[in-house]
Amino acid sequence: MESIYNLGFINLAIPAWQMAIYIALVSFFMFVHETRGCLVTTYLFGLYWGYYLYGRDFLAAANGYPGVVTAYITFGLLLAGFSLLALFYEK
């Protein structure tokens, strides 16, 4: 019983409500056999969580230059878009 109480002291890096939304979306897309939805959801959440967790370090390395953040977001969305485009021609 002691191990259950120890779970309350765990500090998660990603908020639990975001993980719940991610799991719900991926589960929904899996149930409706939509591979594209699963992959795009994973890419977009991965892009967001990467920025959420390491954004401060990323901005510090970029010396506050806004073009770097724009490039990060643009290339992340392009990666998700091109992956989705490639999956449309897969079937």
Question: By the 8 A CB rule, do 58 and 68 touch?
Answer: yes
Question: By the 8 A CB rule, do 44 and 73 touch?
Answer: no
Residue 33 one-letter amino acid: H
Burial of 37 (C-beta count, 10 Å sphere; 0-12/13-18/19+):
middle
How large a percentage of the chain has pLDDT more than 70? 85
What pLDDT is stored for residue 58 in this prediction?
76
What pLDDT is stored for residue 24 in this prediction?
94
What CA–CA distances, in Å, run from 34 to 69, 82, 84? 31, 17, 11
Summarised one tens digit per residue, pLDDT across range 35-84 is 888 888 888 888 888 888 887 787 787 787 878 878 888 888 888 788 77
Residue 73 has which token pair? 């977001």
Q: What are the residue boundaries of the structural domains of the chain, listed by start?
A: 14-88
pTM of the model: 0.65
Q: Looking at residues 14-42, what average pLDDT do you find?
A: 88
What pLDDT is stored for residue 65 in this prediction?
80
Residue 64 one-letter amino acid: G
